[in-house]
Structure 1
């Protein structure tokens, strides 16, 4: 290959560019990014950046020296508009094109929105520009904040807003936040963190609409109640950025469909990160975005799938001064056993706890709240067990 184009200039795109150089590609490297910013880290946006403990310089994923060393052509603030049928030309804004021998799709995902979220005071939190706008509005003094969605982004943002002194209410349509990830028993434990942080949690009801003319004034719930709101933060998940690929020959279904080596139906096109559905699943986690590029690039340069990306799922979240870590593959019906610490009134005690999910006498997943060292050991043991087991056994 003489030219490789990485479409997407965030975490997974940068890691793919690094891997291309590390694995010996010395040809023309083009990196296309729809945001004007150099690659930055997204997890701090809802935490230290939002609270003002970290500036924009702390978000950068690559310094000037590395940017130069990569020897890439950076096309930032440029949106990809299409990929030709053979995957050899990337179409850009304004009718420009990039002829290429290989493509790494790393376009990520965009925050889902609600009807009427064009009102002043309604925010999503996915990009640096999102975080800038929300941080500026939160600096205007105590405001009534309503967070729609109790997932990781919603919980972290609620925690940051509460730390800044704003009264916060979290609305979650499910009976408990994080049930799909943690199961009902442990989700109830983590829900208690909201109460510990002084945040109101409203569960089991959806959002019927937003109220206000020009500026948001409230959130109307599906049960008929209306919550007053000066600021509304919508955290209801993300949609993979595949619209620019419609009309190409690539298979799209909640992401770009790939085999277990991140390779699409076109061997010269691979996909990584939030946009990639690898081996039947799509993982919107930092670790997937950093681990998949190594395998994807190896397969791209080989012209076929020679390696697979089958790492153990892992994610973490910082909420209300607690660090939640989870690894493995939980299924409904798994039993949960506390291995470390205790719970007081359904909430983590000081020092946290370690919980093991088990099925047929085997550990399938591990959850930790403020128990980083035992979690690291358990994660390592679980990964070793996975490497010895057949995939179907997990």
Structure 2
């Protein structure tokens, strides 16, 4: 009987094994995860869970009985030591498992501060796993002093939680503005104002020189020579794809595990899906760090592991929750040369429409689900509305779909 192994028990891994069974795969399935927890959602970690608004068990994607009922073997708390693509084996906690086909869904891991500038000190946290958030949660006390390093979405979401908990929060970004790598200045301006209204101190164009303290962090020295005292630190300076196992196994790597349009790697018996996978897109390659991509690509890979040969075409969308603002993003804004700002029905409702050479690329919608849904449908259909129509508030956006 065939044995399919999936390495990585996050959203992509859990979706993949469920799809295998739901589509009729009768062989053995083993899902291997380095964490001791059954597969769980990550987005709520830095939001509802950290705020105490979501119970631990609600994070779980499925109850443990789901995997038992579908005869999916879980190997949790079991980091994989090596993949041998020639012998088609996986070594995990000293045991060698043979596979017929293998999927790698190892996600991504947060970048860390170098030990030389204090990254090894206690009370320096990252936001990735349940254990990370459980460790930092007790420090979110009223009037505690928090430094957040990095002005991307992870850092801003953590700042929103901290502000709601009454934590004295400072966020630094070494670039000239927050969100500079992922959004237009207009979106940066929007979120800077939102955070300022909640008391978060955002300092842009300011780098971290070093963290202060001997065994645990007590403060920070910045690139301008100033120093401040802090009780704990959260680092949100981006992520790296989880491709070390694949690289060691000899698979091709290109900003992640290189796959073809079906999710197959350079080894015909090994597949990849989710944050760790680099896939073809519009003549180039992309790597998407999002839950929708993890689910959709994993399900396509599951079908292809069973011989379907279906191409995966990503429908690109993301989201972020900060305070009472829900940001929804459709499309990729890479290469934009024009941004149209459209005011929504409320003061904090707004959408930003990205164009390149007159073609609609992406939409950022803040508390404006109508603009998001219409923008998403237009982008997926390859249609571009006139920028003048978008900026004209008398335009009925829904009519743009007809």
Cα drift, residue 183 of structure 1: 2.0
Q: In structure 2, what is the equivalent of residue 174 of structure 1? A: 175
Superposed, 1:80-159 pairs within 5 Å as 80-86=80-86, 88-93=88-93, 95-115=94-114, 116-139=118-141, 141-159=142-160
Counterpart-to-counterpart distance in 1, 2:135 and 2:180:
30
1:321 and 2:324 equivalent?
yes
Q: CA RMSD in A?
A: 1.9
Write the mapping of 1:1-394 to structure 2, written as runs, cut at 5 A: 2-86=2-86, 88-93=88-93, 95-115=94-114, 116-139=118-141, 141-279=142-280, 280-302=285-307, 306-341=309-344, 350-385=347-382
| Long gaps (5+) in structure 2 | 385-402
Q: Deviations over 1:45-83 (max 9, x none)?
A: 101111111110110100244222321111100011111
Give the deviation of 1:350 after TM superposition: 2.4
Please give the secondary structure, in 1, of the residue aligned with 2:9.
coil
Aligned to 1:345: none
Q: 1:373 to 1:68 in 2, by over 3 A?
A: farther
Contact 1:183–1:332 (CA under 8 A) maintained in structure 2: no
Distance 2:149 2:68 in 1: 41
Structure 2 distance, partners of 1:87, 1:321, is 53
Of 32-41 and 376-385, more deviation after overlay is shown by: 376-385
For 1:220-263, what per-residue CA distance to the aligned partner results, in whole angstroms no more than 9, with x for missing partners? 11221223210100111112222233431201243211112211
Aligned-partner SS, 1:123: strand
Deviates more, 1:252-261 or 1:280-289: 252-261
Give the Å deviation of 1:330: 1.2
- The secondary structure found in structure 1 opposite 2:347 is strand
Give yes or no for contact 2:360–2:383 (8 Å, CA) kept in 1. no
Deviations 1:317-337 (A, max 9, x none): 011221111111213342111
Task: Indicate if the aligned counterparts of 1:87 and 1:269 stay in contact, CA closer than 8 A.
Answer: no
Match of 1:392 in 2: none
Report SS of the residue matched to 1:288. Answer: helix
Runs of 4+ in 1 over 3 A off after TM superposition: none
C-alpha spacing 1:78/1:196, structure 2 compared with 1 (3 Å): same
Report if aligned partners of 1:87, 1:266 keep a CA contact under 8 Å in 2. Answer: no
**Unaligned 5+ runs, structure 1:** 343-348, 388-394
TM-score, normalising length: structure 2: 0.89
**Alpha-carbon offset, residue 207 of structure 1:** 1.1
CA shift in 2, pair 1:308/1:214, >3 Å = same
Counterpart Cα distance in 2 of 1:87 and 1:374: 52
TM-score (norm 1): 0.91
